[in-house]
Amino acid sequence: MPLAITLPLNPDVIAAEGPYPRALNVLSRKQTAVQRQLRRAGLAGYEPTTQATLLALAQRAPAGSSVYDIGAHIGLYSALISAVYGRGRLRTYAFEPTPDIAGLCRRVRECNRLSYEVVESAVSSAPGTAELYLSEKSESSNSLNSAHRRHTRSVPVPVTTVDAFTAERGAAPYLVKIDVETFEAAVLEGALRTVDRHRPWIVCELLPSADHDALRRSLAPLVALGYGLHPITPEAPWSRYDERGYRRAVSGQCRDWLLAPEPLTPGFHRAVRRWLIAILACDETTNLLTPAGSPFPGGWNAPYPPPGRRPARGPAAHRRHAARRLRAGLAGLAALARRAPGP
């Protein structure tokens, strides 16, 4: 059955970039693990600090920059960035090797009239082909690492590298997101020329079950180039680690990291916090649900109005609505901070 999720409202971005849609059609409320999580909790319940970090980094990306979403699944992050910033300013590439999930990623793009490109390929340390192992637990755990999850099936998939794709397309990445289920070390190994030349910001999942010897070898060249390794947490400032010390901060709660090519500033942390408050207001009560075969209500994804424009609901009702969303976001931020791991 169809599901649309409310997108976070950020007036600063609307003022700078122009209006963007207030909702995103994610097609189904139960077809995949990601869609089921969005149905249960909205955007607020799906890696909100990671979302906020990606949106804050995309906010500062120069016009014409590229974003690589490696391990895109249904393309949620690609769709978010494309919906908010995709009016020709950023080029977003969603890398997803699982054939049926890549098909869903294309459908999300088409149903929302977005502009990101779906690249049906895995990413690793060398181009070619490889076996993608299909997890019995969840399609979101499919991996090139045969030991990651129990599986009974695999499919051959094409493989590229960040370096090869960047050279082929001439698409210098400003931002790279990597979530490849314990295969992150190989992706980083195949990105070293791009990192050296273009110094992208990298948001990377680091799981406790990963091969941390391989990760240390892959992270060491980045640290030598001046990168800091920061666990993404609700509270700021974020701690900085190198390839020798990061392992003690990896946990099931703290699994997404920012590999930063320059020091993090108070302005960056303010932008992340502003996005996080807005995301945490987009909980399950803001979802749009319709019966199978029924359309969403009229104006379901109409753009948020520019700041200062009188909304159709009237100023008093709008102020009450905005205040409720702000209170919800602040309450969610406080709860998330209480659950955050210590340094």
Domain with residue 36: its CATH number is 3.40.50.150
* Average pLDDT for the chain: 90
Tokens of 37: 């999580």
pLDDT at 157: 96
pLDDT band (50, 70, 90) for residue 153? confident
Residue 293: is its pLDDT beyond 90?
Answer: no
- pLDDT given for residue 318 in this prediction: 42
Q: How far is CA 149 from CA 32, 59, 179, 206, 207, in A?
A: 17, 35, 15, 16, 13
Total count of domains within the chain: 1
Q: What is the pLDDT confidence band of residue 42, given thresholds at 50, 70 and 90?
A: very high
Residue 315 has a pLDDT of: 42
The pTM for the full model equals: 0.91
Q: What domain range includes position 228? A: 3-339
pLDDT of residue 123: 97
Q: What percent of the chain has pLDDT over 90?
A: 76
- pLDDT tens digits, one per residue of 221-234: 999 999 999 999 99
For residue 141, the model assigns a pLDDT of 75
Structure tokens at 106: 């294309």
> Closest by alpha carbon to 286, among 334, 319, 325?
325
- pLDDT band at 316, cuts 50/70/90? very low
Quick one: tokens of 84? 């908010």
